[in-house]
Amino acid sequence: MSSALKQKILFITPPFTQLNTPYPATAYLKGFLNTKGYESHQADLGIEVILKLFSSKGLRRMFEDLEASDIELSDNSYRIYALRDEYMSTIDPVVRFLQNKNATLAHSICDRSYLPEASRFEQLDELDWAFGTMGIQDKARHLATLYLEDLGDLIQEAIDPHFGFSRYAERLGRTATHFDEIEATLQASDTLISSILVDLLEQKVQQWQPMVVCLTVPFPGNLYGAFKCGQYLKRHYPDIAVVMGGGYANTELRTLREPRVFDYIDYISLDDGEAPLINLLEYVSGQREQSELKRVFARTDGKVIYYNGAKEKDVAQRDTGTPDYSDLPLPDYLSVIEIVNPMHRLWSDGRWNKLTLAHGCYWGKCSFCDISLDYIKRYEPVTASLLCDRIEEIIEQTGQNGFHFVDEAAPPALLRDLALEIIRRKLTVVWWTNIRFEKNFTADLCQLLKASGCIAVSGGLEVASDRLLERMKKGVTVAQVARVADGFTQAGIMVHAYLMYGFPTQTAQETIDSLEMVRQLFQLGVVQSGFWHRFAMTAHSPVGLHPAEFDVMRIGPDFGGFADNDLFHDDPTGADHDLFAEGLRKSLFNYMHGVGFDMPLKKWFDFKVPPTSIPPNYIERCISDATDGQARPNALAVWLGGQPSLSVFEQKQGKQVVEIAELEFYSKKNHWGLTTNVLLADWLVEILPQLAIGQHEPLSLQQLKARYEQAGLGNFDDLKQSYVWKELRDNGLLIV
């Protein structure tokens, strides 16, 4: 074995990402290194810090620190401190309940006599109506989440201002053009949370004795935690090579010039990590020159140098291996319910295996998106067969059948093939993903995706204005989004809409009209969940690269050698976008809970807004105007219904006695019959098994037509106009 392969690698996700499931970057890279014979381990220090802090021992330590301090607490925080014995005695059972290990505690939680309550519980008066639709477990999970959030409020006020359950010191990482504030915070005394973090890091180093530690930083809320880990390693284990990569580095640090960064980190890797990591491991073991590294920043002679002389190409998606979740404490993650909306809760409730179907975005045109960067612009799908192989391996590893496909936008054609393969293999999979609301998501495709286990999709409606959607190059209209969302909803698939306000040149009228579109989408039940994002100009998007083309002007910030991504801009022809933030948030919160639809839009705002120009039935008309487009001849004909039994009986018609055939079908929910002539019935009995998803190649619509007409049954177009065809289409015949 080469010396490179003898290296031990430790992948770390620093605090904080999600409470309910691990961020997948370390599992992806560990899976890849498995294919190359390297020994590697991984740790999610985010969930481990949370579990140490939110324990009876952790709270006791926190309350003792508070007692020894002279911090003046707010009334709410003092209430929590005064009830400290109640919190210390209840925290361990509550955490086990949120880990799905203590289900019977739900009864005590729900009777409102068990948990101590502070300000987060005040919102329950507004949400009592929602609990009627929730089971006891869900209600208890929501109450337990509020209990944790109360403690989080105290921690943020009195223990560590940087704390957040899904982020840590996020403010330091946002628009961090200069490194000064990050470094000053790193040089300050440890907080309770950073002390727990480095204690856990020390345990991992002792346990696995790594030679290389790789820190993933997907978001600004992981940056400080990563630097804290790097600081500890450089201080106590200077021989360990420390590498940083991930989404933050890929977007924010592409023009890095600040040498002080490398007092804490040895190397910063950009874009896909597989090839750069292999090259780095070879360099660290003396098998490669530094000049032949791939997409790596390092400090040489006091200067930041970008090394990208490697001749090797990036690793193809088919060769990256199956994500490996071993080492991660999968049973210990917390399923919390921050908001009772059933779609919104998917981000925080349940353990989801993360998997990518295709590298990059197949659309790659949206003007607000970082389409100039590799993770968007280089589109590379994987075959459905290989994806299902990986799905089966991950289910075997984790014992979990839930999957979140974390694509930028999952391609309709690949989703179709994946759904067919899942059904063919008879896999039980529950999955959700991000999509574009494009016309190829037909009602039939939505039904197929549902049959394969799809429960939800999220997609960008952005600004619900056709003028702005065209300017964004979204490639969709509001009417199309409504029809596609309706198709998913009719199939029983929940829909989450990403919404945007403040796009360049957006007027107050367009903002109010967008809100009216959103109101109608929720009132009709076409969309079940949403979130308003304030438009942000980024350095790698078409708007950021060419602001004048979008009638805005970049006004900062000045680059100070560290991060360069978020840009400040002036929008002289647009509205004062920040004014609308609270009204949009408040109205959407109500719409997601099924209330407030009759309230005039102006009531959501504390300033004068124009009346909407959108007709009150606009979305309803868009959906009803939908027509079944001409199916492509090479579209597949798929039968999801059961196989029929055939019986023939004689029926007198006038003076003649004719044979009538009856086909009897059983499905999971229905029992139905179809009466027709014997020739057609015989043909259906023969052809339907060939349309069922199995080991045989599926038939196209064109092939189905040829089979029908070769059987001498007449013109296929006549069949498509008949009641027989309608009955088949209503009961499981899909054209996809």
Domain co-membership, 641 together with 608: no
The answer to whether residue 286 is domain-embedded is yes
The CATH number of the domain holding residue 415 is: 3.80.30.20
> Mean pLDDT across the stretch 7-27?
96
The pLDDT value given to residue 126: 52
Residue 598 belongs to domain spanning: 352-624
Express each pLDDT in 558-567 by its tens digit: 999 999 999 9
Express each pLDDT in 546-562 by its tens digit: 999 999 999 999 999 99
Lowest mean pLDDT among 259-263, 348-352, 395-399, 648-652: 648-652
Express each pLDDT in 499-528 by its tens digit: 999 999 999 999 999 999 999 999 999 999
Domain co-membership, 451 together with 529: yes
Helix (H, G, I), strand (E, B) or coil at 565: coil
> Mean pLDDT across the stretch 413-433?
97
Domain co-membership, 213 together with 356: no
Domain co-membership, 426 together with 308: no
Structure tokens that stand for 414 in this block: 């690949």
The answer to whether residue 65 is domain-embedded is no
The answer to whether residue 78 is domain-embedded is no
Domain co-membership, 531 together with 398: yes
**H helix and E strand count, the chain:** 28, 25
The pLDDT value given to residue 659: 87
Structure tokens that stand for 147 in this block: 């209990």
Q: How many distinct structural domains can be found in the chain?
A: 3
Q: Which amino acid is at 624?
A: S
Domain co-membership, 579 together with 681: no
Domain co-membership, 292 together with 364: no
User: Does residue 154 carry a pLDDT above 80?
Assistant: yes
CA 682/CA 685 separation, integer angstroms: 5
Starting at the edge strand found earlier in the chain, the sheet holding 671-676 runs: 645-653, 656-666, 671-676
The answer to whether residue 327 is domain-embedded is no
CA 570/CA 551 separation, integer angstroms: 9
CB atoms within 10 A of CB 380: 12
The answer to whether residue 135 is domain-embedded is no
CA 124/CA 130 separation, integer angstroms: 9
Q: For residues 97 and 110, is the Cβ–Cβ distance under 8 A?
A: no
Domain co-membership, 223 together with 289: yes
Q: What is the DSSP string of 355-385?
A: E-SEES-SS---TTS-TTSHHHH--EE--HH
Q: What is the DSSP string of 646-682?
A: EEEEEEEETTEEEEEEEEEEE-SS-EEEEEE-HHHHH
User: Last residue of some domain: 591, 624, 657?
Assistant: 624
CA 367/CA 547 separation, integer angstroms: 10
> Mean pLDDT across the stretch 95-100?
98
Express each pLDDT in 670-690 by its tens digit: 899 999 999 999 999 999 999
Residue 220: pLDDT band (50, 70, 90) is very high
Domain co-membership, 486 together with 547: yes
Express each pLDDT in 322-353 by its tens digit: 999 999 999 999 999 988 788 888 989 999 99
Express each pLDDT in 118-127 by its tens digit: 999 987 755 5
Express each pLDDT in 600-632 by its tens digit: 999 999 999 999 999 999 999 999 987 666 777
Phi, psi of 499 (to 5 degrees): -115, 150
Beta pairing class for 267-269 and 296-300: antiparallel
CB atoms within 10 A of CB 57: 12
Q: Is the peptide bond before 16 cis (omega within 30 degrees of 0)?
A: yes
User: Does residue 404 carry a pLDDT above 80?
Assistant: yes
The answer to whether residue 129 is domain-embedded is no
Helix (H, G, I), strand (E, B) or coil at 383: coil
The CATH number of the domain holding residue 275 is: 3.40.50.280
User: Does residue 667 carry a pLDDT above 90?
Assistant: no
Domain co-membership, 486 together with 575: yes
Domain co-membership, 690 together with 730: yes
Lowest mean pLDDT among 56-65, 125-134, 714-723: 125-134
Detail the DSSP E strand segments found in 29-186. Answer: 39-44, 163-164, 167-168
Structure tokens that stand for 19 in this block: 């409470």
User: Does residue 1 carry a pLDDT above 50?
Assistant: no
Q: Degrees (nearest 5) of the Cα angle 275, 279, 280?
A: 115
Q: Degrees (nearest 5) of the Cα angle 262, 247, 499?
A: 140
Domain co-membership, 583 together with 706: no
Residue 100: pLDDT band (50, 70, 90) is very high
Q: Degrees (nearest 5) of the Cα angle 179, 180, 181?
A: 100
The answer to whether residue 334 is domain-embedded is no
Lowest mean pLDDT among 4-13, 15-24, 481-490, 563-572: 4-13
Q: For residues 259 and 560, is the Cβ–Cβ distance under 8 A?
A: no
CA 566/CA 176 separation, integer angstroms: 9
The answer to whether residue 365 is domain-embedded is yes
